[in-house]
Amino acid sequence: MNVDLSGLIYGFVFYYPLFMAYIWMIGGLAYYFHYERGALAVTEPMSVLRGVPRVSIIVPCYNEADNVRDVIGHLSGMRYPDYEIIAVNDGSTDATGAILDELAVQDARLRVIHQASNQGKAVGLTTAALMASSEYLLCIDGDAILDHDAIPWLLRHFESGPRVGAVTGNPRIRNRSTMLGRLQVGEFSSIVGLLKRAQRTYGRIFTVSGVVTAFRRSALAQCGFWSPDMLTEDIDISWKLQTQHWAVRFEPRALCWILMPETLRGLWQQRLRWAMGGVQVVAKYLWITREWKARRMLPVLAEYFISVTWAYAMAFVIVMWIAGFFIDLPPRWQISLIPGWHGILIGSTALLQFFIAMLIDRHYDRRILRYHFWMIWYPLAYWMLNMFTTVAALPKVLWRESGKRAVWTSPDRGVHQSAGATKGGADAAAPSRANG
Amino acid sequence: MKDLIIDRPALQALPDRLLWAVVTTVFWFIWFYLWLPWITLAAWVLSGYAGYLQYLIYDSQVDNARLFGTYLLVIQALGAVLLGWAFLEWWRFHGRDRRRPSADLTLEQLAAPFQLDPVSLAGWQMARRLVVSHDLHGRVVGAVVSEPALAPR
Identify the three-state secondary structure at position A368: helix
Give Cα A328 distance to the centre of its chain. 43
pLDDT recorded at residue B10: 83
pLDDT recorded at residue A421: 38
Q: Which of A31, A74, A88, A127 is the best mutation test for B, with the most CBs of B within 10 A?
A: A127
Residue A44 scores a pLDDT above 90: yes
Distance from CA of A155 to the nearest CA of B (A): 15
Residues A76 and A107: beta-carbon distance below 8 Å = yes
Proportion of chain B in helix, strand, coil states, percent, rounded to 5: 65, 10, 25
> Looking at chain B, which residue has its C-alpha nearest residue A416?
B11
Q: Give A249-287 pLDDT, tens digit per residue.
A: 999 999 999 998 888 888 888 889 999 999 999 999 999
Q: Give A317-355 pLDDT, tens digit per residue.
A: 999 999 999 988 888 888 877 666 777 788 889 999 999
* Angle A412-A415-A418 from CA coordinates, rounded to 5°: 40
Of chain A, the end-to-end C-alpha distance in Å amounts to 34
pLDDT recorded at residue A331: 86
Provide φ and ψ at B62, rounded to 5°. -65, -40
pLDDT recorded at residue B8: 85
User: In this predicted model, which residue has the larger pLDDT, A299 or B101?
Assistant: A299
Residue A408 scores a pLDDT above 70: no
Tell me what the mean pLDDT of segment A115-119 comes to.
Answer: 90
> Looking at chain B, which residue has its C-alpha nearest residue A221?
B110
Residue A435 scores a pLDDT above 70: no
Average per-residue pLDDT in chain B?
81
User: In this predicted model, which residue has the larger pLDDT, A134 or B23?
Assistant: A134
User: In this predicted model, which residue has the larger pLDDT, A242 or B37?
Assistant: A242
Question: Which of B116, B130, B149 is the closest to A114 by Cβ?
Answer: B130
Mark yes or no for CB contact B64/A341 under 8 Å: yes
Q: Which of A94, A249, A42 is nearest to A160 (CA)?
A: A249
Residue B153 scores a pLDDT above 50: no
Residue A429 scores a pLDDT above 60: no
Q: Give B42-57 pLDDT, tens digit per residue.
A: 777 776 655 555 555 5
> Looking at chain A, which residue has its C-alpha nearest residue B96?
A161
pLDDT recorded at residue A428: 41
pLDDT recorded at residue A376: 82
Q: In what order do the strands lie in the sheet with A212-216?
A: A145-146, A247-258, A164-173, A212-216, A136-140, A55-61, A83-89, A110-115, B129-134, B140-146
Mark yes or no for CB contact B27/A376 under 8 Å: yes
Q: What is the dihedral of CA B19, B24, B27, B32, to 10 degrees?
A: -140
pLDDT recorded at residue A434: 35
Mark yes or no for CB contact B102/A216 under 8 Å: yes
Provide φ and ψ at A217, rounded to 5°. -65, -35
User: In this predicted model, which residue has the larger pLDDT, A340 or A216?
Assistant: A216
Does the ipTM surpass 0.90? no
Q: Which of A46-50, A87-91, A265-269 has the lowest mean pLDDT?
A: A265-269
Mark yes or no for CB contact A376/B31 under 8 Å: yes
User: In this predicted model, which residue has the larger pLDDT, A297 or A344?
Assistant: A297
Question: Which of B34, B68, B78 is the closest to A19 by Cβ?
Answer: B78
Provide φ and ψ at A310, rounded to 5°. -60, -40
Sorting pLDDT into bands at 50, 70 and 90, what band is B116? Answer: very high
Q: Which of A134, A137, A173, A177 is the best mutation test for B, with the most CBs of B within 10 A?
A: A177
Question: Which of A114, A145, A341 is the closest to B4 by Cβ?
Answer: A145
Percent of chain A surpassing pLDDT 90:
68
Q: Is B115 exposed, middle or buried (0-12, 13-18, 19+ CB in 10 A)?
A: exposed
Residue A76 scores a pLDDT above 90: yes
Sorting pLDDT into bands at 50, 70 and 90, what band is B16? Answer: confident
Average per-residue pLDDT in chain A?
89
